[in-house]
């Protein structure tokens, strides 16, 4: 079957609609003429006038030139109205979000226990213990040093983290570590009493984070103890986890829920949204309520 060619002289493209190719058809839809693209059209069509015409701004009354039949405002007034409209939309969204967050915060704080019950020991489903050599490079006081106008991680500290990370990785090999609370405990053997054992927590947590693939935001600190050992001091690390499901913290209520309690979001790194389903429903309800009030106010 022979293909139909555009009816415009000099055009050899295939027909898309009304006997014209896609280019000439689009030009006709926009300007009212498939050839010139600037043919005289009526106000009803919303196309361009062939020449600029003088109109009077309905806001300030000043005259302005335009080829758009539907343009009602001059350039200055148009910019002001557009800016005001955008500010109104942003303010409305913020007010809606604030109302929703107030309800979420009130709901999340209801029934919270006092100080009693805050220090319960976890019941881990698995735990491992790793022993690593003690080094003064584990101290946070040696982590950073100035270089070329900025602070960089010390080379010895970086090597020590690699050694600790390798030992931890061997210990957790074959074990599923979920994105959930990780309990870490340390028993430090110090060669003398000139340093405190808490200084090693930052370096060791960074090494553990790289080894198990879970960010240290999920780490909970258990026991930190110490003793003095003059020869061959070591650091004993215990890593434990009490849940076997991946979790995420809701950015609105702060609750920690499984992944199935969040809607999917293809733009997020892990594929799920940052707001839990319950909070999302509250936000959507306030959005619908705000839109209803706006419609009733306009009526």
State residue 44's pLDDT score.
43
Per the CB < 8 A criterion, the answer to whether 203 and 161 are in contact is yes
Q: What is the mean pLDDT of residues 176-205?
A: 91
Cα 247 to Cα 42, 77, 120, 150, 228: the distances in Å are: 60, 51, 20, 36, 39
| Own/partner pairs, 13-21, CB within 8 angstroms, 24+ separation | none
Task: Please give the Cα distance from 141 to 189 (Å, whole number).
Answer: 18
Is the pLDDT at 118 greater than 80? The verdict is no
In this prediction, what percent of the chain has a pLDDT beyond 90? Answer: 35
Instruction: State the average pLDDT for the chain.
Output: 84
State residue 41's pLDDT score.
45
Least confident of 122-131, 136-145, 185-194, 271-280: 136-145
Give the tens place of pLDDT for each residue, 15-74: 988 888 998 888 888 777 787 654 444 444 445 666 778 888 888 888 888 877 778 888
State pTM to two decimals.
0.64
What's the alpha-carbon Rg for the chain, to the nearest Å?
34
Would you give the DSSP letter of residue 74?
-
* CATH numbers and ranges of domains, the chain: 1-54 (no CATH), 126-245 (3.30.1330.70), 249-293 (no CATH)
Per the CB < 8 A criterion, the answer to whether 19 and 37 are in contact is no
State residue 43's pLDDT score.
43
Give the tens place of pLDDT for each residue, 77-99: 888 888 877 777 767 677 777 88
Give the tens place of pLDDT for each residue, 214-254: 999 999 999 999 999 999 999 999 999 999 999 999 998 88
Q: What is the mean pLDDT of residues 256-272?
A: 91
Task: Please give the Cα distance from 31 to 50 (Å, whole number).
Answer: 9
Task: Please give the Cα distance from 83 to 90 (Å, whole number).
Answer: 11
Q: How many residues does the chain have?
A: 299
Mean pLDDT is highest, among 84-93, 102-111, 152-161, 219-228, for 219-228
């Amino acid at each position: 079957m022979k293909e139909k060619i555009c009816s415009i002289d000099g055009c050899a493209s295939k027909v898309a609609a009304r006997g014209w190719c896609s280019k000439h058809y689009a030009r006709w839809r926009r300007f009212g003429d498939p050839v010139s693209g600037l043919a005289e059209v009526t106000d009803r069509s919303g196309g361009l006038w062939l020449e600029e015409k003088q109109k009077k701004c309905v806001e300030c009354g000043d005259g302005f030139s335009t080829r758009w039949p539907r343009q009602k405002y001059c350039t200055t007034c148009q910019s002001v109205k557009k800016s005001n409209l955008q500010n109104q939309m942003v303010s409305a969204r913020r007010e809606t979000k604030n109302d929703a967050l107030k309800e979420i915060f009130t709901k999340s704080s209801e029934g919270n226990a006092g100080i009693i019950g805050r220090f319960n020991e976890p019941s881990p489903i698995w735990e491992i213990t790793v022993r690593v050599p003690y080094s003064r490079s584990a101290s946070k006081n040696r982590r950073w040093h100035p270089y070329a106008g900025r602070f960089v991680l010390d080379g010895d500290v970086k090597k020590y983290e690699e050694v600790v990370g390798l030992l931890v990785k061997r210990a957790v090999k074959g074990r599923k570590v979920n994105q959930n609370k990780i309990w870490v405990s340390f028993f430090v053997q110090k060669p003398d009493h000139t340093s405190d054992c808490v200084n090693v927590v930052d370096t060791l947590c960074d090494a553990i984070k790289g080894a198990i693939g879970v960010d240290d935001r999920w780490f909970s600190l258990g026991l930190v103890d110490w003793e003095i050992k003059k020869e061959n001091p070591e650091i004993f690390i215990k890593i434990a986890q009490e849940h076997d499901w991946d979790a995420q913290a809701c950015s609105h209520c702060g609750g920690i829920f499984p992944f199935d309690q969040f809607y999917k979001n293809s733009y997020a790194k892990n594929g799920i949204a940052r707001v839990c389903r319950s909070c999302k429903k509250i936000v959507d309800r306030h959005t619908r309520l705000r839109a209803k009030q706006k419609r009733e106010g306009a009526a």
